[in-house]
Amino acid sequence: MSTTLSRLDPQAVGLTKAEYEEIRRRLGRDPSALELQLFGVMWSEHCGYKHSRLTLRALPAEGPGLLQGPGENAGVMDIGGGWAVAFKVESHNHPSAVDPYNGAATGVGGIIRDVLAMGARPIALLDSLRFGPLDDPRARRIATGVVAGIAGYGNCIGVPTVGGEILVDPRYRGNPLVNVVCLGLVRRDDLARSKASGPGNVVMYVGARTGRDGIGGAAFASEELDERSERDDRSSVQIGDPFTGKLLIEATLEALRTGGVVALQDMGAAGLTCATSEMAARGGVGMDVALERVPLREDGMRADEILRSESQERMLLVVHPEAAERVAAVFRKWGLNAAVIGEVVAEPELRLTLGGRPLAALPPYTLADAPAYRPAASEPQRLWDLWKLEALPPEPDPRDALMTLLAFPDIASKRSVYEQYDHSVQVRTVVAPGAGDAAVLRLHELAPKGLALAVDGNGALCALDPYRGARLAVAECAADLACVGAVPLGVTDGLNFGNPEDPEVFWTFRQAVSGLADACRALRIPVVGGNVSFYNESPEGPIPPTPIVAMVGLVDDVRNSPGMAFRADGDVIVLVGEPTGELAASTYLRTVHGVDAGRPRDVDFEVHQRVLGVVREAVRAGLARSAHDCAEGGIAVAVAESAIAGSLGVDVVVPAGSHRGAPSSRRDAVLFGEAPSRIIVSVTEHAVPALFTLAAQADVAVTVLGRVGGARVRMAVATEGPPRRDVDLSLEELRNAYDSLTGIFA
């Protein structure tokens, strides 16, 4: 194990020659072959954040109620009454491309353990998924495998999947995106950390045994995919066991209650190497670790395999020595392994041995502190051409356009997906998947309060303008929360991009981070942590820049949280916000006409805050019987979705307003144009004056569009003279289009 560089090329473990020289400089000597392998995983992009760390400093990480920001396993926000929520997003993109079921399943398991490592009980999951066209056999196989993997793990482990999103684009054909969000609940005084401390404290391995699955997973996640990846990289994908994961949750929470646990961390990416080095580095201490004590699933495992394995359902604990047997007994009671594999030492050195033979001795902070780079960035000149939308295509029949949009996978009902998920386990779900713009969970501990969760992102918009696209993702997430009456608490982000060493890719990353930062500052919401996934490329090219935003909010009274469904005949349909949209960069233009061009409308966050405030107060006051954000497909799609959800027809007239980039005579701009800060609300006739009073006090535009009733969806654009009925379709026709994904995911 003392082999030097001559017997192991740095490039073979993903390191550059410059990084090798930096290792030599920091150590004052040549690293051994084993040490070089450890640097290879810890200085990979997935673990080291080499190309993103400096840029991420722009994100606001402070705010009222923030208990833990970036730098731990998950962010934590105070929710009052002595309780807090921990939440984070994680990606499993590359593993899911190679092995869709296990890649997605272990993504769920990993993010659950990140939240568990904060001492929190996981209570909800969200997923944000991107696939190639679903009529492509490979993309369809990946999509169905990913959904099955999320369902298979989440359902078995007993954590409900309460919401999410699926978007489809040819640019994800070779590299899908699988981002998973987990939220957990913890008593504020019971919050755990991963900072090792106390020389003489023992290092305890708990959970499943270590095998050869997932070896090199962190390095694999930091490489581009090619046509051989599905065959050659399958061993880099972990295999999960959700039942063991459930036992690990219960055992860990019980062990924390003993008071003997000082610190803990999930053994995820880079496995034991990452857990030992990061925990020691955070505490400014060292560890002595004896690898022969690690519980193994396979005979003859080498030291490097033990250290780099990413086998699932494992945690590393630092425990007071007098409590070691008591803590170990808890895990054994649950049928799990518990073994003392080392101890904390005062000297800041990670010393690894096997059978008493020294293998490596490294400063933990050196191993856990990869170099940070500022890659070159250059604006893609093609964007300027894409922003020019000089000639709009002729208008189609609005009925055909609406049916096409409702059947488009980005908009179509995801019922055949979320029906595979157990969203009611733990008996907290108030607004279930598909019922509203955000999921709502009841807090038995703080009744009648609740939590709201939403996730949003749009790579097509970010491909046209990454700055505005990121701002729009934050704005839509906040609107989703307002529709259920929630006040935003914090954001976690999943940043999915191509090769950061490509100047154009890195420019889009930097712009997106800037957009997220500006939007969160405008809304006064902290970014509590997140995930960066680079090298999302295939032989077909890079994915679109895809920042994912997950937002958590607090609901005062879950009994008032409405869904998106219209509720009763005679209810009045009101648009809160300006009745203006535009066709540039719209889903309508891309889907109906095949034109992916124009610059997305930016967000005026001062206006946006006022619009959301009106809707939030209408929900809190019990005025809003339904609320639904106008997003993809504009006003027409939002109204149709609420009608389908409530099995109630409507008759609405949409004012022409003013629409940038389109003549006022274009009816498609009125019906399908897109812009932020517009929400469809339904109220009883008696509640209309109160809603208008709220809007007037906030200086927010409100427009009565029509009424709920009948079995048909009728829409017209207001023009001079009698309005012409542009859409007149039965609910059955619309529902058939809206359920277009049923045959794919059923």
How much is the pLDDT for 235?
57
Residue 425: burial class (beta carbons within 10 Å; 0-12, 13-18, 19+): middle
Copy the structure tokens of residue 336: 């799990």
Residue 719 above 80 pLDDT? no
pLDDT range class, residue 222, cuts 50, 70, 90: low
51 given a catalytic annotation: no
Q: Could you tell me the domains of the chain?
A: 562-746 (3.90.650.10)
H/E segment holding residue 287:
strand 286-290
3-state helix, strand, coil in the chain (%, to 5): 40, 25, 35
Q: What is the pLDDT of residues 333-380, one digit of tens each?
A: 999 999 999 999 999 999 999 999 999 999 999 999 999 999 999 999
pLDDT range class, residue 702, cuts 50, 70, 90: very high
pLDDT range class, residue 145, cuts 50, 70, 90: very high
The CA distance from 538 to 174, in Å, is 5
The CA distance from 721 to 724, in Å, is 9
pLDDT range class, residue 120, cuts 50, 70, 90: very high
Strand order, beta sheet including 202-207:
261-266, 314-319, 202-207, 337-345, 286-290, 350-354, 357-362
Higher confidence at residue 151 or residue 221? 151
Question: Tokens 């307002």, residue?
Answer: 482
- C-alpha angle 256-72-512 in degrees, rounded to nearest 5: 145
- Mean pLDDT for 724-729 is 92
Where in 141-238 does DSSP place strands (E)? 161-168, 177-187, 202-207
How much is the pLDDT for 233?
47
- Which listed residue (51, 92, 608, 659) is catalytic? 92
**What is the reported pTM?**
0.95
Helix (H, G, I), strand (E, B) or coil at 591: helix
593 given a catalytic annotation: no
Q: What is the pLDDT of residues 413-460, one digit of tens each?
A: 999 999 999 999 999 999 999 999 999 999 999 999 999 999 999 999
Contact present, 301 and 212 (Cβ < 8 Å): yes
Residue 198 above 60 pLDDT? yes
Residue 217 above 60 pLDDT? no
Q: What is the pLDDT of residues 617-650, one digit of tens each?
A: 999 999 999 999 999 999 999 999 999 999 999 9
- Mean pLDDT for 153-164 is 96
Q: What is the pLDDT of residues 229-283, one digit of tens each?
A: 554 444 557 788 999 999 999 999 999 999 999 999 999 889 999 999 999 999 9
How much is the pLDDT for 237?
76
How much is the pLDDT for 745?
86
pLDDT range class, residue 399, cuts 50, 70, 90: very high
